[in-house]
Amino acid sequence: MSFPSSPRWSGSDPASPVDEEERLRELGYQPVLARRMGGFGNFAISFSVISVLSGCMTLYGFGMNTGGPAVMMWGWLGVGLFVLCVGMALAEVTSAYPTSGALYYMADRLGGRKWGWYTGWLNLLGLLGAIAGIDYGAALFTGAFLHLQFGFDPTPGSTMIIFMIILLLHATLNLFGVKLVSVLNSISVWWHIAGVTLIVGVLAIVPKNHQSPEYVFTEFVNGTGWENPIYVAAIGLLLAQYTFSGYDASAHLSEETSNASVTAARGIVRAIWVSWIAGFALLAGLTFAIQDYAGAQNSETGVPPAQIMIDALGTGGASALLLVVIVAQLFCGNAEVAAASRMVFAFSRDNALPGSSLWRRVSAKTQTPVPAVWLSVAVPCLLALPSLYSTTAYGAVTAINVIGITPAYAIPIYLKLRAGDRFQPGPWTLGKWSKPIGWIAVVWVAIVTVLFLLPQSNPVTVDTMNYASVALVVVMTLATVWWFVARRTYGVPQPQSYGSAKEQAELADHIV
Protein backbone atom coordinates (compact mmCIF):
# COMPACT_ATOMS: atom_id res chain seq x y z
CA MET A 1 0.00 0.00 0.00
CA SER A 2 1.50 3.33 -1.00
CA PHE A 3 0.45 6.76 0.13
CA PRO A 4 2.36 9.15 -2.16
CA SER A 5 2.26 12.77 -1.16
CA SER A 6 3.10 14.32 -4.54
CA PRO A 7 0.24 16.01 -6.41
CA ARG A 8 -1.18 14.69 -9.65
CA TRP A 9 -3.09 17.73 -10.91
CA SER A 10 -2.18 18.55 -14.51
CA GLY A 11 0.38 21.27 -14.86
CA SER A 12 1.56 21.09 -11.23
CA ASP A 13 5.10 20.65 -10.07
CA PRO A 14 5.37 17.13 -8.54
CA ALA A 15 7.86 18.42 -5.98
CA SER A 16 5.61 21.15 -4.59
CA PRO A 17 2.32 21.04 -2.66
CA VAL A 18 -0.97 21.49 -4.46
CA ASP A 19 -2.14 25.12 -4.77
CA GLU A 20 -5.31 24.51 -2.76
CA GLU A 21 -6.97 27.82 -3.54
CA GLU A 22 -6.51 27.20 -7.26
CA ARG A 23 -7.67 23.60 -6.85
CA LEU A 24 -10.84 24.83 -5.11
CA ARG A 25 -11.51 27.16 -8.05
CA GLU A 26 -10.99 24.20 -10.40
CA LEU A 27 -13.67 22.34 -8.44
CA GLY A 28 -16.03 25.27 -8.97
CA TYR A 29 -15.84 27.29 -5.73
CA GLN A 30 -14.41 30.71 -5.01
CA PRO A 31 -12.47 30.59 -1.70
CA VAL A 32 -14.21 32.55 1.07
CA LEU A 33 -13.09 30.71 4.24
CA ALA A 34 -9.77 31.36 5.99
CA ARG A 35 -7.14 28.67 5.31
CA ARG A 36 -5.50 28.85 8.73
CA MET A 37 -5.44 25.20 9.83
CA GLY A 38 -2.36 23.01 9.52
CA GLY A 39 -2.03 19.26 9.13
CA PHE A 40 -1.96 18.55 12.85
CA GLY A 41 -5.01 20.73 13.41
CA ASN A 42 -6.88 18.87 10.69
CA PHE A 43 -6.04 15.50 12.26
CA ALA A 44 -6.93 16.94 15.65
CA ILE A 45 -10.48 17.88 14.69
CA SER A 46 -11.35 14.32 13.59
CA PHE A 47 -9.56 12.84 16.59
CA SER A 48 -11.47 15.22 18.86
CA VAL A 49 -14.79 14.34 17.25
CA ILE A 50 -14.16 10.59 17.52
CA SER A 51 -13.19 11.24 21.16
CA VAL A 52 -12.82 7.90 22.93
CA LEU A 53 -13.34 9.75 26.22
CA SER A 54 -16.77 10.74 24.96
CA GLY A 55 -18.05 7.75 22.98
CA CYS A 56 -16.56 4.93 25.04
CA MET A 57 -17.47 6.48 28.38
CA THR A 58 -20.95 7.63 27.39
CA LEU A 59 -22.02 4.28 25.92
CA TYR A 60 -20.14 2.04 28.33
CA GLY A 61 -23.38 1.34 30.21
CA PHE A 62 -25.02 0.32 26.93
CA GLY A 63 -22.13 -2.07 26.30
CA MET A 64 -22.46 -3.59 29.76
CA ASN A 65 -26.03 -4.55 28.90
CA THR A 66 -25.54 -5.71 25.29
CA GLY A 67 -22.87 -8.40 25.45
CA GLY A 68 -20.80 -7.15 28.35
CA PRO A 69 -16.98 -7.21 28.54
CA ALA A 70 -16.41 -9.77 25.77
CA VAL A 71 -18.40 -7.85 23.16
CA MET A 72 -16.99 -4.49 24.23
CA MET A 73 -13.36 -5.63 23.95
CA TRP A 74 -13.48 -7.84 20.85
CA GLY A 75 -16.10 -5.64 19.22
CA TRP A 76 -13.82 -2.64 19.57
CA LEU A 77 -10.94 -4.45 17.86
CA GLY A 78 -13.09 -5.79 15.03
CA VAL A 79 -15.11 -2.63 14.38
CA GLY A 80 -11.94 -0.53 14.50
CA LEU A 81 -10.34 -2.62 11.76
CA PHE A 82 -13.32 -2.26 9.45
CA VAL A 83 -13.70 1.44 10.20
CA LEU A 84 -10.04 1.91 9.29
CA CYS A 85 -10.87 0.45 5.86
CA VAL A 86 -13.80 2.87 5.54
CA GLY A 87 -11.57 5.76 6.59
CA MET A 88 -8.80 4.91 4.12
CA ALA A 89 -11.27 4.55 1.25
CA LEU A 90 -12.95 7.84 2.17
CA ALA A 91 -9.57 9.57 2.52
CA GLU A 92 -8.74 8.66 -1.07
CA VAL A 93 -11.90 10.38 -2.35
CA THR A 94 -11.31 13.35 -0.02
CA SER A 95 -7.88 13.85 -1.58
CA ALA A 96 -9.52 14.19 -5.00
CA TYR A 97 -12.32 16.53 -3.81
CA PRO A 98 -11.12 18.64 -0.84
CA THR A 99 -14.21 20.81 -0.23
CA SER A 100 -16.32 21.74 2.80
CA GLY A 101 -19.24 19.86 1.27
CA ALA A 102 -17.15 16.70 1.52
CA LEU A 103 -19.34 13.58 1.19
CA TYR A 104 -22.24 15.06 -0.75
CA TYR A 105 -19.94 16.94 -3.13
CA MET A 106 -18.02 13.70 -3.81
CA ALA A 107 -21.28 11.81 -4.39
CA ASP A 108 -22.62 14.50 -6.70
CA ARG A 109 -19.49 14.60 -8.84
CA LEU A 110 -19.20 10.82 -9.05
CA GLY A 111 -22.85 9.79 -9.23
CA GLY A 112 -25.02 12.76 -10.11
CA ARG A 113 -27.30 15.30 -8.41
CA LYS A 114 -29.65 12.90 -6.62
CA TRP A 115 -26.76 10.90 -5.16
CA GLY A 116 -25.29 14.13 -3.83
CA TRP A 117 -28.65 15.35 -2.53
CA TYR A 118 -29.48 12.28 -0.42
CA THR A 119 -25.88 11.84 0.73
CA GLY A 120 -25.92 15.42 1.96
CA TRP A 121 -29.11 14.96 3.94
CA LEU A 122 -27.82 11.74 5.52
CA ASN A 123 -24.53 13.41 6.39
CA LEU A 124 -26.30 16.42 7.87
CA LEU A 125 -28.58 14.17 9.95
CA GLY A 126 -25.57 12.31 11.30
CA LEU A 127 -23.59 15.45 12.14
CA LEU A 128 -26.46 17.16 13.95
CA GLY A 129 -27.37 13.93 15.75
CA ALA A 130 -23.73 13.62 16.83
CA ILE A 131 -23.73 17.08 18.39
CA ALA A 132 -26.88 16.19 20.33
CA GLY A 133 -25.39 12.89 21.48
CA ILE A 134 -21.98 14.29 22.42
CA ASP A 135 -23.16 17.37 24.28
CA TYR A 136 -26.02 15.57 26.04
CA GLY A 137 -23.51 12.94 27.12
CA ALA A 138 -21.30 15.73 28.48
CA ALA A 139 -24.34 17.06 30.36
CA LEU A 140 -24.96 13.62 31.89
CA PHE A 141 -21.35 13.37 33.06
CA THR A 142 -21.44 16.94 34.39
CA GLY A 143 -24.56 16.03 36.37
CA ALA A 144 -22.78 12.98 37.79
CA PHE A 145 -19.77 15.13 38.77
CA LEU A 146 -22.00 17.70 40.48
CA HIS A 147 -23.82 14.86 42.27
CA LEU A 148 -20.55 13.55 43.70
CA GLN A 149 -19.21 16.94 44.70
CA PHE A 150 -22.27 18.83 45.82
CA GLY A 151 -25.14 16.36 46.12
CA PHE A 152 -26.74 17.76 42.97
CA ASP A 153 -29.81 15.85 41.75
CA PRO A 154 -29.33 15.19 37.99
CA THR A 155 -32.99 15.22 36.91
CA PRO A 156 -33.94 15.25 33.21
CA GLY A 157 -34.81 18.95 33.52
CA SER A 158 -31.52 19.97 35.11
CA THR A 159 -29.58 17.83 32.65
CA MET A 160 -31.34 19.60 29.79
CA ILE A 161 -30.34 23.00 31.19
CA ILE A 162 -26.70 21.89 31.42
CA PHE A 163 -26.95 20.58 27.86
CA MET A 164 -28.24 23.93 26.56
CA ILE A 165 -25.45 25.81 28.35
CA ILE A 166 -22.88 23.52 26.70
CA LEU A 167 -24.42 24.13 23.27
CA LEU A 168 -24.25 27.88 23.84
CA LEU A 169 -20.59 27.60 24.88
CA HIS A 170 -19.73 25.69 21.73
CA ALA A 171 -21.54 28.14 19.49
CA THR A 172 -19.69 31.04 21.10
CA LEU A 173 -16.26 29.41 20.73
CA ASN A 174 -16.91 28.64 17.06
CA LEU A 175 -17.85 32.23 16.29
CA PHE A 176 -14.29 33.39 17.01
CA GLY A 177 -12.95 31.71 13.86
CA VAL A 178 -11.20 28.59 12.70
CA LYS A 179 -7.85 29.57 14.25
CA LEU A 180 -9.27 29.25 17.78
CA VAL A 181 -11.03 26.01 16.79
CA SER A 182 -7.71 24.64 15.52
CA VAL A 183 -5.86 25.62 18.72
CA LEU A 184 -8.54 24.03 20.91
CA ASN A 185 -8.44 20.84 18.85
CA SER A 186 -4.66 20.63 19.14
CA ILE A 187 -4.96 20.95 22.92
CA SER A 188 -7.72 18.33 22.76
CA VAL A 189 -5.38 15.73 21.24
CA TRP A 190 -2.94 15.93 24.12
CA TRP A 191 -5.76 16.16 26.66
CA HIS A 192 -7.27 12.93 25.32
CA ILE A 193 -3.98 11.06 25.21
CA ALA A 194 -2.95 12.24 28.68
CA GLY A 195 -6.47 11.62 30.00
CA VAL A 196 -6.61 8.04 28.77
CA THR A 197 -3.11 7.40 30.14
CA LEU A 198 -4.08 8.87 33.52
CA ILE A 199 -7.38 6.98 33.82
CA VAL A 200 -5.91 3.64 32.75
CA GLY A 201 -2.83 4.11 34.92
CA VAL A 202 -4.78 5.05 38.06
CA LEU A 203 -7.30 2.23 37.59
CA ALA A 204 -4.44 -0.23 37.10
CA ILE A 205 -2.49 0.82 40.19
CA VAL A 206 -4.88 2.03 42.89
CA PRO A 207 -7.65 -0.62 43.22
CA LYS A 208 -6.76 -3.66 45.32
CA ASN A 209 -8.87 -6.00 43.23
CA HIS A 210 -9.00 -6.42 39.47
CA GLN A 211 -10.94 -8.68 37.16
CA SER A 212 -9.05 -11.50 35.47
CA PRO A 213 -8.09 -11.40 31.77
CA GLU A 214 -10.45 -14.33 31.24
CA TYR A 215 -13.34 -12.26 32.63
CA VAL A 216 -12.46 -9.15 30.63
CA PHE A 217 -12.21 -10.96 27.30
CA THR A 218 -14.77 -13.76 27.64
CA GLU A 219 -17.54 -12.65 30.04
CA PHE A 220 -20.82 -12.31 28.14
CA VAL A 221 -23.72 -10.39 29.67
CA ASN A 222 -27.18 -10.17 28.14
CA GLY A 223 -29.62 -7.72 29.64
CA THR A 224 -31.52 -6.97 26.44
CA GLY A 225 -34.35 -9.50 26.73
CA TRP A 226 -33.31 -11.15 23.45
CA GLU A 227 -32.27 -14.79 23.70
CA ASN A 228 -29.99 -15.11 20.66
CA PRO A 229 -26.41 -14.28 21.77
CA ILE A 230 -25.30 -13.55 18.20
CA TYR A 231 -28.04 -10.96 17.84
CA VAL A 232 -27.09 -9.39 21.18
CA ALA A 233 -23.41 -9.27 20.25
CA ALA A 234 -24.28 -7.66 16.91
CA ILE A 235 -26.27 -4.80 18.42
CA GLY A 236 -23.57 -4.44 21.08
CA LEU A 237 -21.23 -3.22 18.34
CA LEU A 238 -23.03 0.14 18.54
CA LEU A 239 -20.63 1.23 21.29
CA ALA A 240 -17.64 0.99 18.98
CA GLN A 241 -19.39 2.07 15.77
CA TYR A 242 -20.89 5.14 17.45
CA THR A 243 -17.51 6.15 18.81
CA PHE A 244 -15.80 5.63 15.44
CA SER A 245 -17.79 8.32 13.67
CA GLY A 246 -17.25 11.93 12.79
CA TYR A 247 -13.88 11.53 11.10
CA ASP A 248 -15.34 13.26 8.04
CA ALA A 249 -14.64 16.44 10.04
CA SER A 250 -11.20 16.54 8.41
CA ALA A 251 -12.87 16.67 5.00
CA HIS A 252 -15.39 19.34 6.05
CA LEU A 253 -12.55 21.58 7.23
CA SER A 254 -10.47 21.03 4.09
CA GLU A 255 -11.22 24.51 2.68
CA GLU A 256 -9.61 25.91 5.83
CA THR A 257 -6.61 23.54 5.82
CA SER A 258 -3.22 24.05 4.20
CA ASN A 259 -2.28 21.41 1.59
CA ALA A 260 -5.68 19.82 2.22
CA SER A 261 -5.43 17.38 -0.70
CA VAL A 262 -2.90 15.49 1.40
CA THR A 263 -3.37 16.61 5.00
CA ALA A 264 -7.16 16.14 5.14
CA ALA A 265 -6.81 12.56 3.87
CA ARG A 266 -4.03 11.84 6.35
CA GLY A 267 -6.07 13.45 9.12
CA ILE A 268 -8.93 11.00 8.61
CA VAL A 269 -6.74 7.90 8.72
CA ARG A 270 -4.53 9.01 11.60
CA ALA A 271 -7.53 9.99 13.72
CA ILE A 272 -8.98 6.48 13.34
CA TRP A 273 -5.89 4.42 14.15
CA VAL A 274 -4.80 6.60 17.07
CA SER A 275 -8.35 6.41 18.49
CA TRP A 276 -8.37 2.64 17.92
CA ILE A 277 -5.36 2.18 20.18
CA ALA A 278 -6.45 4.73 22.81
CA GLY A 279 -10.01 3.39 22.99
CA PHE A 280 -8.90 -0.20 23.49
CA ALA A 281 -6.67 0.85 26.39
CA LEU A 282 -9.51 2.86 27.96
CA LEU A 283 -12.09 0.06 27.69
CA ALA A 284 -9.60 -2.44 29.10
CA GLY A 285 -8.72 -0.13 32.00
CA LEU A 286 -12.37 0.35 32.95
CA THR A 287 -13.32 -3.31 32.59
CA PHE A 288 -10.39 -4.66 34.62
CA ALA A 289 -11.31 -2.19 37.39
CA ILE A 290 -14.97 -3.27 37.76
CA GLN A 291 -15.71 -4.09 41.41
CA ASP A 292 -19.51 -4.52 41.29
CA TYR A 293 -21.01 -5.09 37.83
CA ALA A 294 -24.68 -4.79 38.79
CA GLY A 295 -23.96 -1.84 41.07
CA ALA A 296 -22.26 0.03 38.23
CA GLN A 297 -25.19 -0.66 35.90
CA ASN A 298 -27.69 0.72 38.43
CA SER A 299 -25.57 3.60 39.74
CA GLU A 300 -27.32 6.57 41.33
CA THR A 301 -25.08 8.81 39.26
CA GLY A 302 -26.75 7.52 36.10
CA VAL A 303 -23.28 6.97 34.61
CA PRO A 304 -21.80 3.44 35.03
CA PRO A 305 -18.14 4.48 34.42
CA ALA A 306 -18.50 7.01 37.24
CA GLN A 307 -19.61 4.24 39.60
CA ILE A 308 -16.72 2.02 38.50
CA MET A 309 -14.34 4.85 39.40
CA ILE A 310 -16.07 5.46 42.75
CA ASP A 311 -15.88 1.77 43.68
CA ALA A 312 -12.24 1.56 42.65
CA LEU A 313 -10.88 4.93 43.81
CA GLY A 314 -13.37 6.56 46.17
CA THR A 315 -15.38 9.71 45.60
CA GLY A 316 -12.41 12.11 45.44
CA GLY A 317 -10.46 10.14 42.87
CA ALA A 318 -13.57 9.45 40.81
CA SER A 319 -14.48 13.15 40.75
CA ALA A 320 -11.03 14.09 39.48
CA LEU A 321 -11.15 11.55 36.66
CA LEU A 322 -14.71 12.53 35.76
CA LEU A 323 -13.53 16.11 35.33
CA VAL A 324 -10.90 14.88 32.86
CA VAL A 325 -13.63 13.07 30.90
CA ILE A 326 -15.99 16.07 30.91
CA VAL A 327 -13.34 18.43 29.52
CA ALA A 328 -12.59 15.89 26.77
CA GLN A 329 -16.29 15.69 25.92
CA LEU A 330 -16.46 19.48 25.71
CA PHE A 331 -13.53 19.47 23.27
CA CYS A 332 -15.33 16.80 21.25
CA GLY A 333 -18.62 18.70 21.03
CA ASN A 334 -16.85 21.90 20.03
CA ALA A 335 -15.06 20.14 17.17
CA GLU A 336 -18.31 18.57 15.98
CA VAL A 337 -20.05 21.96 15.88
CA ALA A 338 -17.22 23.22 13.66
CA ALA A 339 -17.64 20.27 11.27
CA ALA A 340 -21.45 20.46 11.18
CA SER A 341 -21.48 24.22 10.58
CA ARG A 342 -19.18 23.79 7.56
CA MET A 343 -21.52 21.15 6.20
CA VAL A 344 -24.49 23.51 6.68
CA PHE A 345 -22.51 26.29 4.98
CA ALA A 346 -21.52 24.12 2.01
CA PHE A 347 -24.97 22.56 1.54
CA SER A 348 -26.52 26.03 1.61
CA ARG A 349 -23.89 27.34 -0.79
CA ASP A 350 -25.34 24.85 -3.27
CA ASN A 351 -28.94 25.85 -2.37
CA ALA A 352 -29.92 22.55 -0.72
CA LEU A 353 -31.44 23.82 2.55
CA PRO A 354 -34.52 25.90 3.31
CA GLY A 355 -33.24 29.44 3.89
CA SER A 356 -29.94 28.71 2.12
CA SER A 357 -29.30 32.41 1.46
CA LEU A 358 -29.03 32.92 5.24
CA TRP A 359 -27.08 29.81 6.25
CA ARG A 360 -24.31 30.35 3.67
CA ARG A 361 -23.41 33.83 4.90
CA VAL A 362 -19.84 34.27 6.13
CA SER A 363 -18.55 36.88 8.57
CA ALA A 364 -16.13 39.29 6.88
CA LYS A 365 -14.32 39.72 10.20
CA THR A 366 -13.71 36.08 11.20
CA GLN A 367 -14.41 34.35 7.84
CA THR A 368 -16.71 32.01 9.78
CA PRO A 369 -20.22 30.92 8.65
CA VAL A 370 -21.98 32.49 11.66
CA PRO A 371 -25.64 31.60 10.89
CA ALA A 372 -24.58 28.03 10.10
CA VAL A 373 -22.97 27.78 13.56
CA TRP A 374 -26.21 28.84 15.27
CA LEU A 375 -28.28 26.39 13.21
CA SER A 376 -25.81 23.64 14.13
CA VAL A 377 -26.60 24.02 17.84
CA ALA A 378 -30.31 24.84 17.52
CA VAL A 379 -31.27 21.59 15.76
CA PRO A 380 -29.41 19.31 18.24
CA CYS A 381 -31.22 21.11 21.05
CA LEU A 382 -34.54 20.15 19.47
CA LEU A 383 -33.37 16.57 18.85
CA ALA A 384 -32.58 16.08 22.54
CA LEU A 385 -35.85 17.53 23.91
CA PRO A 386 -37.54 14.07 24.11
CA SER A 387 -34.97 13.20 26.79
CA LEU A 388 -37.13 15.26 29.16
CA TYR A 389 -39.84 12.61 28.89
CA SER A 390 -38.13 9.34 27.95
CA THR A 391 -35.13 7.58 29.46
CA THR A 392 -34.46 5.85 26.13
CA ALA A 393 -34.37 9.06 24.07
CA TYR A 394 -30.60 9.47 24.43
CA GLY A 395 -30.04 6.04 22.92
CA ALA A 396 -32.28 7.06 20.04
CA VAL A 397 -30.19 10.19 19.43
CA THR A 398 -26.96 8.18 19.27
CA ALA A 399 -28.64 5.76 16.87
CA ILE A 400 -29.71 8.71 14.69
CA ASN A 401 -26.07 9.77 14.51
CA VAL A 402 -24.87 6.34 13.43
CA ILE A 403 -27.67 5.62 10.97
CA GLY A 404 -27.26 9.01 9.34
CA ILE A 405 -23.53 9.37 9.05
CA THR A 406 -22.39 5.78 8.46
CA PRO A 407 -24.25 5.20 5.14
CA ALA A 408 -23.11 8.64 4.00
CA TYR A 409 -19.48 7.46 4.30
CA ALA A 410 -20.06 4.50 2.00
CA ILE A 411 -21.90 6.27 -0.82
CA PRO A 412 -18.93 8.20 -2.29
CA ILE A 413 -16.75 5.10 -1.84
CA TYR A 414 -19.24 2.96 -3.75
CA LEU A 415 -19.58 5.59 -6.49
CA LYS A 416 -15.79 5.78 -6.79
CA LEU A 417 -15.66 2.00 -7.29
CA ARG A 418 -18.48 2.18 -9.82
CA ALA A 419 -16.73 4.96 -11.71
CA GLY A 420 -13.64 2.82 -12.28
CA ASP A 421 -11.02 4.59 -14.36
CA ARG A 422 -13.21 7.70 -14.61
CA PHE A 423 -12.22 8.52 -11.03
CA GLN A 424 -9.04 10.58 -11.02
CA PRO A 425 -7.32 10.12 -7.62
CA GLY A 426 -5.67 12.98 -5.78
CA PRO A 427 -2.16 13.02 -4.36
CA TRP A 428 -3.14 10.65 -1.50
CA THR A 429 -4.07 7.29 -2.98
CA LEU A 430 -4.33 3.62 -1.96
CA GLY A 431 -2.92 2.45 -5.27
CA LYS A 432 -3.55 -1.24 -5.98
CA TRP A 433 -5.34 -1.59 -2.63
CA SER A 434 -8.03 0.91 -3.59
CA LYS A 435 -10.61 -1.59 -4.86
CA PRO A 436 -10.31 -4.32 -2.19
CA ILE A 437 -10.31 -1.83 0.68
CA GLY A 438 -13.17 0.07 -0.96
CA TRP A 439 -15.37 -3.02 -1.27
CA ILE A 440 -14.62 -4.08 2.31
CA ALA A 441 -15.72 -0.61 3.41
CA VAL A 442 -18.97 -0.69 1.42
CA VAL A 443 -19.95 -4.18 2.61
CA TRP A 444 -19.19 -3.31 6.23
CA VAL A 445 -21.30 -0.16 6.12
CA ALA A 446 -24.18 -2.11 4.56
CA ILE A 447 -24.05 -4.64 7.40
CA VAL A 448 -23.92 -2.14 10.25
CA THR A 449 -26.65 -0.01 8.68
CA VAL A 450 -29.00 -3.00 8.89
CA LEU A 451 -27.84 -3.89 12.40
CA PHE A 452 -28.49 -0.46 13.82
CA LEU A 453 -32.04 -0.35 12.52
CA LEU A 454 -32.89 -3.43 14.58
CA PRO A 455 -34.63 -3.24 17.99
CA GLN A 456 -32.17 -3.29 20.88
CA SER A 457 -34.48 -4.40 23.72
CA ASN A 458 -37.19 -7.01 24.11
CA PRO A 459 -40.14 -6.60 24.43
CA VAL A 460 -40.34 -3.70 21.98
CA THR A 461 -42.41 -0.89 23.50
CA VAL A 462 -42.71 2.86 23.02
CA ASP A 463 -39.89 3.32 25.56
CA THR A 464 -37.59 0.58 24.22
CA MET A 465 -38.07 1.01 20.47
CA ASN A 466 -35.07 1.85 18.31
CA TYR A 467 -36.12 5.13 16.71
CA ALA A 468 -33.25 5.21 14.21
CA SER A 469 -35.47 3.69 11.54
CA VAL A 470 -38.16 6.32 12.19
CA ALA A 471 -35.58 9.12 12.01
CA LEU A 472 -34.20 7.71 8.77
CA VAL A 473 -37.65 7.55 7.16
CA VAL A 474 -38.54 11.07 8.33
CA VAL A 475 -35.33 12.62 7.00
CA MET A 476 -35.50 10.78 3.68
CA THR A 477 -39.14 11.83 3.31
CA LEU A 478 -38.32 15.47 4.04
CA ALA A 479 -35.35 15.31 1.67
CA THR A 480 -37.57 13.87 -1.07
CA VAL A 481 -40.28 16.49 -0.57
CA TRP A 482 -37.73 19.31 -0.53
CA TRP A 483 -36.09 17.92 -3.65
CA PHE A 484 -39.16 18.85 -5.67
CA VAL A 485 -38.92 22.39 -4.30
CA ALA A 486 -35.17 22.94 -4.64
CA ARG A 487 -34.19 20.74 -7.58
CA ARG A 488 -34.13 23.68 -9.99
CA THR A 489 -31.68 25.67 -7.86
CA TYR A 490 -29.65 22.93 -6.14
CA GLY A 491 -26.43 21.75 -7.68
CA VAL A 492 -22.70 21.69 -7.13
CA PRO A 493 -20.86 23.89 -9.63
CA GLN A 494 -19.03 22.49 -12.59
CA PRO A 495 -15.30 23.18 -12.68
CA GLN A 496 -14.49 26.88 -13.18
CA SER A 497 -18.19 27.83 -12.94
CA TYR A 498 -17.32 30.63 -10.54
CA GLY A 499 -14.71 32.02 -12.87
CA SER A 500 -16.56 35.10 -14.14
CA ALA A 501 -16.35 38.46 -12.40
CA LYS A 502 -20.15 38.61 -12.15
CA GLU A 503 -20.41 35.24 -10.39
CA GLN A 504 -17.57 36.07 -8.01
CA ALA A 505 -19.35 39.31 -7.14
CA GLU A 506 -22.54 37.38 -6.42
CA LEU A 507 -20.64 35.04 -4.10
CA ALA A 508 -19.09 38.02 -2.33
CA ASP A 509 -22.60 39.15 -1.40
CA HIS A 510 -22.76 36.18 1.00
CA ILE A 511 -19.94 37.65 3.08
CA VAL A 512 -21.33 39.97 5.72
The pLDDT score that the predictor gives to residue 391 is 65
Distance CA 90, CA 265 (A): 8
Whether pLDDT at 147 is above 90: no
The greatest distance separating any two alpha carbons of the chain, rounded to the nearest whole angstrom, comes to 73
286 pLDDT higher than 50? yes
DSSP assignment of 397-442 equals: HHHHHHHHHHHHHHHHHHHHHHHGGG----SS--GGGHHHHHHHHH
Cβ atoms of 262 and 184 closer than 8 Å: no
d(CA 35, CA 95): 16
Per-residue model confidence (pLDDT) at position 33: 82
User: Tell me, what's the pLDDT at 149?
Assistant: 85
pTM for the structure as a whole = 0.86
Instruction: Tell me the one-letter amino acid at 52.
Output: V
CA neighbor of 246 nearest in space, from 43, 33, 474, 452: 43
For residue 307, the model assigns a pLDDT of 93
Alpha carbon of 80 to those of 90, 321, 398: distances in Å?
15, 25, 18
**Does the pLDDT value for residue 8 go beyond 60?**
no
Q: How far apart are CA 174 and CA 372, in angstroms?
A: 10
**Amino acid, single-letter form, for residue 324:** V
> Residue 291 above 60 pLDDT?
yes
Q: Is the pLDDT of residue 487 over 80?
A: yes
Q: How many CA atoms lie within 13 A of 216 on its CB side?
A: 18
pLDDT of residue 398: 66
Write down the pLDDT at residue 71: 97
Question: Any idea which of 3-12, 52-61, 185-194, 249-258 has the lowest mean pLDDT?
Answer: 3-12
CA angle 346, 349, 351 (to 5 degrees): 115
In this predicted structure, the answer to whether residue 501 has a pLDDT above a threshold of 60 is no
Residue 260: which of 400, 130, 98, 417 has the closest Cα? Answer: 98
pLDDT of 54: 87
**What 8-state DSSP symbol labels residue 492?**
P
**pLDDT above 90: residue 169:** yes
**pLDDT at 275 exceeding the cut of 60:** yes
The pLDDT-based confidence of 392 (bands split at 50, 70, 90) is low
* Average pLDDT value for residue range 160-164: 95
Q: Is the pLDDT of residue 120 over 80?
A: yes
DSSP 274-336: HHHHHHHHHHHHHHHT-S-HHHHHT-TTS-HHHHHHHHHH-HHHHHHHHHHHHHHHHHHHHHH
- Output the average pLDDT for the chain: 87
With a cut of 90, say whether residue 250 has pLDDT above it. Answer: yes
Counts for the chain of helices (H) and strands (E), in that order: 23, 2
| Residue 195 scores a pLDDT above 90 | yes
171 — pLDDT class (breaks 50, 70, 90):
very high
Please report the pLDDT score of residue 499 as a whole number: 40
Contacts of residue 330, defined as CB under 8 A and 6 or more positions apart, other chains included, come to 138, 166, 169, 170
What confidence tier does 31 reach under pLDDT thresholds 50, 70, 90?
A: confident
pLDDT in tens, 52-91: 998 899 889 999 999 999 999 999 999 999 999 999 999 9
Supply the DSSP symbol for 511.
B
Angle between helices 315-349 and 370-384 (to 10 degrees): 120
Residue 32's pLDDT band (boundaries 50, 70, 90)? confident
Q: For the CA atoms of 82, 88, 93, 94, what is the dihedral angle to 10 degrees? A: 110
In whole angstroms, what is the distance from residue 40 CA to residue 267 CA? 8
